[in-house]
Structure 1
Amino acid sequence: MNFKDVMKRYKEGTASKEEKELVEKELEKYATIEEYYAEELPDEFMNSSETDEEEKLNTGSETKNINKVVNRRLRKVILISVLTVILLYVGIFYGLSSIVDQFYFDPTEVTQSDEEDFTETDFNFDMDALISLNMPGYVNGSFTIEESKGFGVYETGYFLKNLFTQDDKLHLVDIKRGQPQNFYGNVFDSIPRFSINNGFSDVYSPYPEEASDHSVEIKEKFKQRFNNKTVEYMEELNDLSYVSMTIAFKEDLTMKELYQLTEEHPELDFKWAGVRTTEPGTRWRDDQPMHLIGFVPDINAEPSSDMEPDPEKYPLFSLNDVWIDASGASEDFFPEAYKTHFTSRLKWLKDREEFVEIFDHNAEKTEFYTDALNYVEDNGVETYGVLVYGTAEAFSESIEEIPYDRLVIDEVDSSKPSTGIYYD
């Protein structure tokens, strides 16, 4: 909202009811201030440095006395005008600015964690949920940055951590009245979001039901040849080569089956699990792309924090909080934690429509989150595939024990990156 434009519409008689009330309220306020100063500011305050006796001694003609009175009054009027302008400026910046802020997304807002010593902005939780659900292999890193510049303008920043390389990079985004400005790549980039589509092509772009048996047979043979070449390539790598691989399952796994798989292969790092959000073989909408979302099952992947949203509405929003209740837990404890964690973050994004409209890549995404939440609440949380890291040797030893339907190598490094070197 530009106050100058609102004032112009007010004078032209085209302002809305809310805009008229805003302008009239501001005009009334500053008219009252000016009237107050005009009545209360004493004439003596405007007197020159001369005392009454000095003025009597220096009396000259009647004209000189009149000039002094006029000048005194004039200085009073000027001072009142200056004070009014100053108050008007301060009021516009601090008063009107806060009014304008209310019309737009505010990344500095704190509604979920407001304790005496610790606070966390809602924007930080926004980034936690958005990145972990939509960007396989990434998490919200160190912390977020939020600073108000007034009139609905903000400077924001966040650290995007690549779980494969362990790089943790700061990305800045300006938000000007609900619109992102000066942003490049990061969460707006299509590569991190869609790099897994090849491995999960049957989910992202389901084969049409009306396809002939011959077409389906050709498709399956191609998939088998591709898998064989992938396994052969992996076996040719140095055993210490570090591999990022997308694995689509033959059939969806429950969270209990997923947890058992991670326990059976501790040498592999399961960094993201895609969650089924529509009936197998279908898309979300015919006129919309199929969005692949999931969660990070690695409890230690995200930075730990003492803050989280309302635990009653968004329980286990941070998966690393699972350790608080893990002692003596049953074998179903961690699978249930997976379900709760994924559902909480999905529910959070569903409730954060303004944030999603700015930072997500699709205007329909809030509706998708709502439909996805309804689906998992009705059908349970199951995974169609995972993103896994490990050495070439570890994959070679484990791959035949994993019920895969499709294997796709996403990235290969010469060795696993070190997260820290310690010396005695």
Structure 2
Amino acid sequence: MTFKEVFQRYKEGTASLEEIKFVEEELEKFELLEEYTLAQIDDSCPGLQELMTESDENEIRGIKKTVNRKLLKSILISFLAAAVLVLLSGPICSRIFYNPNRGYQETYGGDGQFFIDAAVFTELHSPGYTTNWAKAVPGFPGSYHVEIRQSNLFHGREETFSGRIVRGKMAGSESSLTGYYSNILNRTGSVLETYWHFPPMNAFGRKLETFCTTDEAGNDVYQQPQKEIDSQLEQLEELPSSSWAAAYITFDAPMSLDAFSSLYRQWVADQGNLDITYAAVTCSEPGYNMNVAGFDPAGTGVFSEAGVYPEETYPYLRPTTARELNDGEALEEIWEQHFTSMLQYMSDRPQFLTAMADVNGISQEYYEELASYVKDHGIQIFGVMIQGNVSQVISFAEQEKVDGVYVEDAKLSALSR
């Protein structure tokens, strides 16, 4: 294609960006040559420049105006195209990838869909913790900065996780923890496993048959030796009488919700100075699943106001404390509905699980299997986490039929943080 043809396309506004660049470079050469020629003519023939350039300058000015208009038009089109792309990419990515805010809307801030997801997951798997606040702030398309605040019930302190979800997945080990858990990674390299405060392996692992020791003959031993139990209780006895302790306890045999209700009323409702903050539920055959699932029988989890989510679909999903119950209302019935509702709720949140809980084989199918097992076998409590005055913790371990004791923490008094 000749320069004349390209230049004609340039004037008509149909030239490509490459052709526009070519024409502008040629025009720049023309201007330089013109300046040089005029300078030479002016030096050799003073006064001749005015005779030769009057019409030429008019044509050059016209060309410059055309060039400027075409250039401005090209820049404007490029800018508008980029702006449209940016504006559309956000909503499109929000529909393609996980959007933590899609669903129940916030009322006061940090209490919307993402909060409910985190709160239910925390109660199921994090003994001694509750989620108080959770927020996801949109960033680049398909990206969210997330922050979750949990309360450590034993120490009465708040712990915060912050990270970044990109295209439906947490940014893995590249995502940072803040505060107490900074730069702590678990064996899989995921910051999430540490943050969710799963119980230590040897707390409930013996009952699940996912943790054992070996005897002198090399045989696997899942039963905790009695001398280990006695040793832990003796160490608790050496603490000042004002001390408080948090301990995992497992029972000789799983108990029904009716039996657990009697135990709960005896130790928590009637005596005081002792809290059962977690009840571990048998959800699979021994050795099949390494995860522990349970609930907080006191209902200390924090949820939005009633009516935020469909309560007919998830009855008693919002924790209800024993103090709120009417006289004679069966705790065991509420616990059963609450626990099964949590399993159903999490199985309905696959995108949250993929983004925020992709550890230890947890998935939508995992909760479906748990729900199926509980439906077939009923809810059986095989262990608890208790917190309270050290004398009450010792009494509980000595008076109940227990086969495992794992002291998680201790402090000098109820006021200690």
TM-score bin, normalised by smaller chain: 0.7 to 0.9
**Secondary structure of 1:239's aligned partner:** coil
Q: Does the alignment pair 1:162 with 2:159?
A: no
Name the aligned partner's letter for residue 302 of structure 1.
G
Q: Does the alignment pair 1:380 with 2:355?
A: no
Give matches, 1:7-406, under 5 Å. Answer: 63=56, 66-67=59-60, 69-109=62-102, 111-113=103-105, 120-141=111-132, 143-181=133-171, 182-184=175-177, 185=184, 187-189=192-194, 192-195=197-200, 197-205=202-210, 223-266=225-268, 267=272, 268-279=274-285, 282-284=286-288, 289-299=289-299, 301-306=300-305, 308-320=308-320, 326-328=325-327, 330-332=328-330, 334-360=331-357, 361-406=359-404
Name the aligned partner's letter for residue 383 of structure 1.
I
**Compared with structure 1, are the counterparts of its residues 389 and 215 closer, same or farther at alpha carbon in structure 2 (3 Å cutoff)?**
same
- The CA deviation at 1:156 is 0.6
Unaligned runs of 5+ in 1: 1-30, 32-59, 420-424
- Decide whether the 8 Å contact of 1:273 with 1:295 is kept in 2: yes
In structure 2, C-alpha distance between the alignment counterparts of 1:176 and 1:190, rounded to whole Å: 19
TM-score normalized with structure 2 length: 0.72
In structure 2, C-alpha distance between the alignment counterparts of 1:349 and 1:191, rounded to whole Å: 15
- Decide whether the 8 Å contact of 1:242 with 1:415 is kept in 2: yes
- The CA deviation at 1:315 is 1.9
- The CA deviation at 1:93 is 0.9
TM-score normalized with structure 1 length: 0.71
In structure 1, C-alpha distance between the alignment counterparts of 2:70 and 2:120, rounded to whole Å: 58
**Secondary structure of 1:342's aligned partner:** helix
- Decide whether the 8 Å contact of 2:205 with 2:290 is kept in 1: no
In structure 2, C-alpha distance between the alignment counterparts of 1:133 and 1:174, rounded to whole Å: 23
In structure 2, C-alpha distance between the alignment counterparts of 1:75 and 1:251, rounded to whole Å: 86
- The CA deviation at 1:230 is 2.8
- Decide whether the 8 Å contact of 1:272 with 1:297 is kept in 2: yes
- Decide whether the 8 Å contact of 1:246 with 1:387 is kept in 2: yes
In structure 1, C-alpha distance between the alignment counterparts of 2:293 and 2:312, rounded to whole Å: 23
**Secondary structure of 1:101's aligned partner:** helix
- Decide whether the 8 Å contact of 2:245 with 2:390 is kept in 1: yes
**Compared with structure 1, are the counterparts of its residues 255 and 188 closer, same or farther at alpha carbon in structure 2 (3 Å cutoff)?**
same
**Secondary structure of 1:150's aligned partner:** coil
Name the counterpart of 1:21.
Answer: none
Moved more, 97-106 or 384-393: 97-106
- The CA deviation at 1:75 is 3.7
CA deviation string 1:120-150 (max 9, x = no partner): 4322122112211112121212x11211112
**Compared with structure 1, are the counterparts of its residues 409 and 363 closer, same or farther at alpha carbon in structure 2 (3 Å cutoff)?**
closer
Backbone CA RMSD of aligned residues? 3.2
- The CA deviation at 1:89 is 1.6
Name the counterpart of 2:47.
Answer: none
Unaligned runs of 5+ in 2: 1-13, 15-52, 178-183, 185-190
**Compared with structure 1, are the counterparts of its residues 102 and 131 closer, same or farther at alpha carbon in structure 2 (3 Å cutoff)?**
same
Name the aligned partner's letter for residue 233 of structure 1.
Q
Moved more, 380-389 or 301-310: 301-310
CA deviation string 1:96-141 (max 9, x = no partner): 23323332211232x13578x8894322122112211112121212
